[in-house]
Amino acid sequence: MPQVIWGGQSGCLLPLLIILNLLFGRAIFNSDQLWLGIEAALVLLFIVKMYLFMHKIRKHLNSSGFDSYTGGKNSRDKVVDVEGKVIEDKKALN
């Protein structure tokens, strides 16, 4: 299924549109109110996209048990190897 332009892969497009509108929007739209309205809408859309993007990252990190790798809750006395497995055998630590 193809992504729409404001979907998942519009990485630099929205900031580029914001910058282009800021620089050339007044000449293109010939109206200060329309120009500033479009600029405000683009900035608001950018803020919403970044909020949703950060929410997805936070949700993914919480679901993958990221706390055990970063010293989160209950990980004070745990030893984690390179593969992310908790080592509990005292002999394996020596």
DSSP H/E element including 40: helix 32-63
**Greater pLDDT, 87 or 68:** 87
pLDDT of residue 20: 94
Q: What is the pTM of this model?
A: 0.57
Longest pairwise C-alpha distance within the chain: 76
pLDDT, tens digit, 9 for 90 and up, residues 76-94 = 567 777 777 777 765 555 5
10-23 residue pLDDT tens: 668 899 999 999 99
- Provide the pLDDT for residue 19: 93
pLDDT exceeds 90 at position 39 = yes
Residue 17's nearest CA partner among 37, 33, 39 is 39
Q: DSSP E strands: which ranges in 1-94?
A: 79-80, 86-87
Mean pLDDT of 47-56: 91
Range scoring the smallest mean pLDDT among 7-21, 31-45, 61-75 = 61-75
